[in-house]
Structure 1
């Protein structure tokens, strides 16, 4: 029996024995609602402060709002919410981000970072990173709540309302902290009504890409070009790697220019990180627009852009030798075959030769002798 099933059995027995009573307000989770949002709605429905409700039911041993409960999803909390609101356990578990395991990622890391899940930066009840997004139009609906899809890094638009998602209060630029606000739709810092802010229209290409992503996530398998992925997490691994090489790395700028078709249309990124999950909403929106272009007619357009940018296999594996198979197979077939990449020892021998015959030579002379590869940079930087 899993920890969640054991916790559920304990809660059900406690209610049957009269040691626990179901809540008078028993709202079940809405479609794709986050666990934290569900908990906050239940607290509001009983006119209780979230911290008071959490302490009264679970005690101080389970710190509900001082952690990212959507990410960690404590079994006692999930099972307790299910029992106290008379909700099926499966529906309650569906409010956690860990429920995406097997579809978004192969294995969900509940005690750490997981690909595509944006961090909240929780410290002392405060959120220091904009890991939760929102759609103003969605919050205008009769029952306002926060969606799980809004915690995913590739989610940058609302397909339902055709607008972009926002990750900060437009008035004070603070991250969203609904657990500290009187209402879910208010900014906890400046009390701006998030339902009334303006959100620009979503670019058509970006909206189309996200609609496909949401469909792949829902059904659990994906397709791209002529390739069918029996498990959607394999597709999302490929997309994340494409996104990574477009915004991070020595030749990412060249690749962005080649993919977009011009220098003017190629976006730049100020972030020095290597993870798409830590980019701002604006940067992720620009990045995913590039990803949408790179995935068109896969892999033809990407391969052509990579060749034009000089993005060969040695550059693709520079920071990550172990690539997702779907990406590595394209790199090996189209960006690695047909030429010889010298080993580090051969490049070092060529460097020693140039020292003898051309003292004070530069990196370009070494590249002219052995070709352009990562080993040239590594050996030359050793000196």
Structure 2
């Protein structure tokens, strides 16, 4: 009796070790498997722990090698894998403590199947029902320490449980696992992805375990290692089955769901957190290249929330990029990334600037970049624009600052000018000009006007475009173009130095010298209304607008602090304070920064002095 069993049987092809021992214990009339294990000197963890099966082999008459093939012992080395039939599986993919089974299969076969230990196998294909892992009578989970295959530890038939029909997705997963169990070696040609690419049982259970779990759970790693029970495994299987049925759109949806809400939403790490590192760690084998290829395709053509570095494993050149990085845009335009950022911030380029803590990500719309690049290539440089208008580069810059030229493109630190804008300016001026009939001796060319250093070219053009300064042009000639063909009368531009009455007119500098004040002071006095006749030709470019009569009249009507002999040697502050106390206020207060002196009405001050 010690060396053999009364009833012996050989293991079935799809049976596990504990199921085989339980079947022998039931056939020999033992209440559970403990007697047989004690007789063989083994523990209950026989299926998952390497041990000596020689005594058990003597009792059953089955060779030790055949018994080891039923066990799920760890693979040598720190691999985290255990044996499963002719292949191997992750230890987390098997539940060797709490058995699960199909009641109908147990009643019909009188044995348990090894594939039922796989946590991803939750439905029976033969009967189209869910597996059962608990007793319907005592509601406790099934155990290997039970009186028989069909009996629970409460000694009632757990096979009376009503499991209910399984879902189509769970049955499809069960069919996939059974097919891979029967064909453990990879097939030479893959079928439709990803089902055809999951060529081994190990690949299938890893795929289901990863994509069926909840990655938003902070205890995600713990949840993938613990055996939560059949109900949790059903949910995992049905979640992962969606990816198998609607590939690759289902993978894209999974990536979108896995993206977390980030304040900055910049880059993969900010948006996906630990999800993508988990993907790399879970599917690091070359056999899952199809999965990474599809993820790269999503990030290249569907993900519009940022850019991926070229050295990243998830990078792939997109067919039609949704965004271009600031460095790529800067390289195509030949400028710096900082210039690209300013152009995006100013609205010159369509794009987005995103903060990354101490860094900043620059995203540029490729269509906007291409349009700007085409405009910049067709535009003229400053020297080319100056040659076209017939003036100098400095005058072109003044026209740009004065707002005369539109269609200006800034590329980096240099400005470029659209040809249409320059031609439009000349055409507008020519339209307002009258053809000259005489020799034009009293005329000055607009191109040569800056040489006189008395007027700014932008101000002259503004007056001409505003119909306040008449222009003249010569007959059409191929030798002259641009501003060279436009003229204005010298008297209209520079003013009359001697008026028709014979009165001499002074320029600003001459008037300032006559008054003994700064040039800025002349303008301040004119604004304050101290001159009776300033700019007699209102709205025209007349620089000699102050007559000798108006300056003499100023001396008779107004005075400075230095003219008040009563306050000789006193500062302007003292003079202002003294006169203010007498309710005599200056019409112009001093400003040392601008060179402005205090000005009083002479009649009011003389009344005080007298």
Shorter-chain TM-score bucket reads: 0.5 to 0.7
Q: Quick check: 2:151–2:158 contact (8 Å CA) kept in 1?
A: yes
* Residue of 97, 108, 129 corresponding to 2:72: 97
Secondary structure in structure 2 of the residue aligned to 1:278 = coil
Matched, 1:324 2:283: yes
5+ residue gaps in structure 1? 1-18, 121-130, 252-269, 343-367, 373-383
CA distance in 2, matches of 1:24, 1:216: 37
* Residue of 94, 100, 103 corresponding to 1:133: 100
For 1:235-258, what per-residue CA distance to the aligned partner results, in whole angstroms no more than 9, with x for missing partners? Answer: 4333322123xx23269xxxxxxx
Higher strand share: 2
CA distance in 2, matches of 1:170, 1:176: 10
Q: Quick check: 2:177–2:201 contact (8 Å CA) kept in 1?
A: no
* Residue of 183, 195, 204 corresponding to 1:219: 183
CA distance in 2, matches of 1:149, 1:287: 17
Residues 33 and 73 of structure 1: CA distance in aligned 2, closer, same or farther (over 3 Å): farther
Q: Normalising to structure 2: TM-score of the pair?
A: 0.41
Residues 196 and 306 of structure 1: CA distance in aligned 2, closer, same or farther (over 3 Å): same
The alpha carbon displacement at 1:297 in A equals 4.0
The alpha carbon displacement at 1:276 in A equals 6.4
The alpha carbon displacement at 1:46 in A equals 2.6
Corresponding position of 1:198: 162
Q: Quick check: 1:164–1:201 contact (8 Å CA) kept in 2?
A: yes
The alpha carbon displacement at 1:334 in A equals 2.1
Residues 52 and 191 of structure 1: CA distance in aligned 2, closer, same or farther (over 3 Å): closer
Matched, 1:296 2:245: yes
Corresponding position of 2:116: 150
* Residue of 125, 140, 149 corresponding to 1:174: 140
| Equivalences for residues 52-91 of structure 1 within 5 A | 52-58=35-41, 62=42, 64-65=43-44, 67=45, 69-74=46-51, 76-77=52-53, 79-91=54-66
Corresponding position of 1:369: 354
Corresponding position of 2:444: none
Secondary structure in structure 1 of the residue aligned to 2:136 = coil
Residues 172 and 290 of structure 1: CA distance in aligned 2, closer, same or farther (over 3 Å): same
Q: Quick check: 1:139–1:194 contact (8 Å CA) kept in 2?
A: no
Secondary structure in structure 2 of the residue aligned to 1:52 = helix
CA distance in 1, matches of 2:163, 2:64: 36
The alpha carbon displacement at 1:211 in A equals 0.7
The alpha carbon displacement at 1:289 in A equals 1.2
Secondary structure in structure 2 of the residue aligned to 1:369 = strand
The alpha carbon displacement at 1:133 in A equals 0.7
| Equivalences for residues 337-356 of structure 1 within 5 A | 339-340=306-307
The alpha carbon displacement at 1:118 in A equals 2.1
The alpha carbon displacement at 1:156 in A equals 0.4
Greater Cα offset, 193-202 or 307-316: 307-316
Q: Which is higher, the Rg of structure 1 or of structure 2?
A: 2
RMSD of aligned Cα (Å): 3.9
CA distance in 2, matches of 1:72, 1:206: 30
Q: Normalising to structure 1: TM-score of the pair?
A: 0.62
5+ residue gaps in structure 2? 85-89, 261-266, 310-352, 358-610
The alpha carbon displacement at 1:36 in A equals 1.4
The alpha carbon displacement at 1:90 in A equals 4.9
Corresponding position of 2:81: 107
| Equivalences for residues 22-61 of structure 1 within 5 A | 22-49=4-31, 50-58=33-41
Corresponding position of 1:284: 233
The alpha carbon displacement at 1:285 in A equals 1.1
CA distance in 2, matches of 1:371, 1:234: 37
CA distance in 1, matches of 2:278, 2:197: 27
Corresponding position of 1:160: 126
Residues 324 and 167 of structure 1: CA distance in aligned 2, closer, same or farther (over 3 Å): same
The alpha carbon displacement at 1:194 in A equals 1.1
Corresponding position of 1:307: 256
